[in-house]
Amino acid sequence: MAEISGGCLCGQVRYSADAEPIFAGVCHCQDCQKFSGSAYAAVVAVPKAAVTVTGTLKMFTKNGDSGQPISRMFCPECGSGIMDEAALMPDAVMLNLGTLDDASWVKPASQIYCDSAQPWALVGELPRFAKMPG
């Protein structure tokens, strides 16, 4: 896997990760809808220790639909949502696909929190889970 890189809309925040992705997926929870400003969030998870960030991120933390804390990190200048850290996966970060320099290689494997999905927004034939699988 080549290095994963990306950044925010204004360019003040950049990140890179030299690691194999843990997973890629789509989340339809209400928190992801609010954070993404869309019907769902598409993310790729990578090991937290492999991610390097340049620039300053602002963080907002609250309990997600799982009942566990999730921290949303974004650029304080342009507001681009960059990544999430979930208490359920303390060793990973979820990078928002829209911030990747090249997201063409990403192939989401499933979609979660489909009970919260907008009826028109379920993604093709990807496996669907009502809540968090497991």
pLDDT in tens, 108-120: 999 989 999 998 9
Compare 103 and 129 and report the one with higher pLDDT. 103
Could you tell me if 132 and 113 are in contact, meaning their C-beta atoms sit under 8 angstroms apart? Answer: yes
Tell me, yes or no, if the pTM score tops 0.75.
yes
pLDDT at 51: 97
What is the DSSP-derived secondary structure letter of residue 121? -
- The H or E element containing residue 47 is strand 41-47
**Contacts of residue 119, Cβ cutoff 8 Å, sequence gap at least 6:** none
pLDDT at 1: 54
Tell me the backbone φ, ψ of residue 15, rounded to 5 degrees: -145, 160
In this model, does residue 131 exceed pLDDT 90? no
In this model, does residue 130 exceed pLDDT 70? yes
For residues 93 and 109, what is the distance between their CA atoms, to the nearest angstrom? 17
Domains of the chain: 10-116 (3.90.1590.10)
For residues 131 and 92, what is the distance between their CA atoms, to the nearest angstrom? 19
Residue type, 4: I
In this model, does residue 10 exceed pLDDT 70? yes
What is the DSSP-derived secondary structure letter of residue 49? G
Mean pLDDT of the 9-21 span = 97
